[in-house]
């Protein structure tokens, strides 16, 4: 994470106390709210004599704050991913996916990667203006900008804040290439922008489909659109001429890995032209959050899921090594990779990555520049 580019305002919000074992939450992915790893103290609930800890936790409302970042493009040098820059319009994600690898980033804000991550959110209302400033720099070199690399650019907040749409308007106006990854069908709202960009070779979209099981999806991704809505989004985008792929991510051993072939088949039927996958990753606080979730929803299967996952990570919960962190290692990881490749090839989804057009970019004019006549 580029903390210089993603500097938050001086205000820090303390996380709410963690929940007690067995105390349930409603409509959220996480079952706890333990303090982040940088905090000096942890908070726990105490019984006041009225038996409140025997009751389910009250519904947790979403709180939204404004982010104070002064730049919007985050850069990386990771050899595991196909882009070197990205924009995240929001911090935290109300989709509440329990497995989300971005959860630990909330600890940088003094917040919990648990419930805080999905209920204490930050918007970047000036993202479009900041983007214009960065694009007009004399030393700026154009390469595709990725949207949706940390948190979903089309999470529920986007319906009203429309920050992602404002970013796309800037990218479209100056003919800058972009990629989008989302698990929301809200992306189809912006077909009026994405369609013309696609005609110029400036955009491609990937829809994340983790499972086709509605019940599992509701438990695992409580505020994300249903699997059916995501497949419909693939169909609508493809019909509009927008290159659209499917991301089977994450593949969770002994829980969703048996669905690889079915997800790819449904996506291909909907019009997907490419496919990719990522194996479950459990860095930092996610290892505990995911175990809590398994204990709550799949106590009989949980130990097997963890054992299989560790088989893919050299016996550990997580392996951060380049080349292994996205897909794992070992025989079980090899089996998943082979199954994915064979199925993707059979369905016509294993195609060379489409290069986006970087030659059409026109930098935003600087204040005082003479306007072009044509």
Our measurement of the distance from residue 323's CA atom to the centroid of its chain's CA atoms, rounded to an integer in Å, reads 20
Whether residue 39 lies inside any domain: the answer is no
- Residue 349 tokens read as 């989804």
The kind and range of the H/E element at 336 are helix 330-346
Residues spanned by the domain of 241: 140-346
Domains contained in the chain, number: 1
Bridging pattern class, strands 74-75 and 85-87: antiparallel
Q: CATH number of the domain at 307, please.
A: 3.80.30.30
35, 41 in Cβ contact below 8 A? yes
H or E segment and range at residue 86: strand 85-87
pLDDT given for residue 79 in this prediction: 84
- Within a domain: 320: yes
pLDDT at residue 53, rounded to an integer:
60
CB burial class (10 A; 0-12, 13-18, 19+) of residue 211? buried
Domain assignment present for residue 361? The answer is no
What per-residue confidence (pLDDT) applies to 366? Answer: 77
Question: Over the chain (374 residues), what is each successive 10-residue block's mean pLDDT?
Answer: 37 45 71 86 69 67 93 90 93 97 95 95 97 96 94 97 98 98 98 98 98 98 98 98 97 98 98 96 95 95 96 94 92 97 96 89 80 54
Nearest to 244 by CA among 277, 188, 210, 204: 204
CB atoms within 10 A of CB 116: 27
Q: What would the pLDDT profile of 261-289 be if each residue is shown by its tens digit?
A: 999 999 999 999 999 999 999 999 999 99
Enumerate the β-bridge partners of residue 85. Answer: 75
Looking at the domain assignment, is residue 65 inside a domain? no
CA distance 104 to 96: 13
pTM, 2 dp: 0.89
């Amino acid at each position: 994470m580029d903390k210089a580019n993603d500097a938050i305002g001086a205000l820090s919000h303390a996380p709410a106390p963690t929940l007690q074992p067995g105390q349930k939450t409603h409509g959220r992915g996480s079952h706890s709210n333990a303090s982040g790893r940088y905090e000096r103290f942890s908070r726990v609930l105490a019984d006041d004599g009225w038996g409140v800890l025997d009751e389910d936790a009250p519904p947790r409302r979403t709180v939204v704050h404004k982010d104070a970042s002064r730049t919007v493009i985050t850069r990386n040098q990771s050899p595991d991913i196909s882009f070197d820059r990205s924009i995240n319009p929001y911090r935290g994600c109300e989709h509440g996916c329990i497995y989300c690898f971005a959860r630990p980033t909330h600890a940088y804000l003094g917040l919990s990667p648990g419930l805080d991550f999905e209920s204490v959110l930050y918007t970047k209302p000036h993202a479009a203006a900041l983007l214009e400033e960065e694009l007009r720099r004399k030393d700026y070199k154009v390469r595709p900008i990725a949207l949706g690399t940390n948190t979903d650019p089309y999470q529920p907040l986007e319906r009203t804040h429309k920050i992602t749409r404002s970013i796309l308007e800037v990218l479209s106006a100056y003919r800058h290439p972009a990629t989008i990854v989302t698990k929301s069908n809200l992306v189809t709202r912006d077909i009026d922008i994405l369609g013309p960009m696609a005609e110029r070779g400036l955009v491609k979209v990937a829809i994340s489909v983790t499972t086709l099981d509605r019940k599992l999806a509701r438990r695992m991704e409580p505020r994300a659109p249903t699997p059916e809505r995501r497949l419909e989004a693939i169909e609508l985008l493809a019909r509009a001429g927008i290159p659209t792929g499917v991301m089977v991510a994450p593949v969770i051993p002994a829980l969703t890995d048996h669905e690889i072939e079915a997800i790819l088949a449904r996506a291909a039927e909907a019009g997907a032209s490419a496919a990719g996958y990522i194996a479950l990753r459990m860095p930092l606080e996610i290892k505990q959050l995911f175990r809590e979730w398994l204990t709550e929803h799949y106590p009989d299967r949980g130990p097997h899921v963890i054992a299989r996952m560790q088989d893919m990570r050299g016996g550990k919960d997580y392996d951060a090594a380049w080349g292994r962190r996205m897909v794992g290692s070992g025989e079980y990881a090899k089996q998943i990779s082979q199954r994915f490749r064979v199925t993707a090839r059979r369905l016509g989804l294993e195609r060379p990555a489409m290069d986006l057009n970087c030659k059409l970019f026109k930098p935003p004019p600087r204040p005082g520049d003479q306007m072009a006549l044509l």
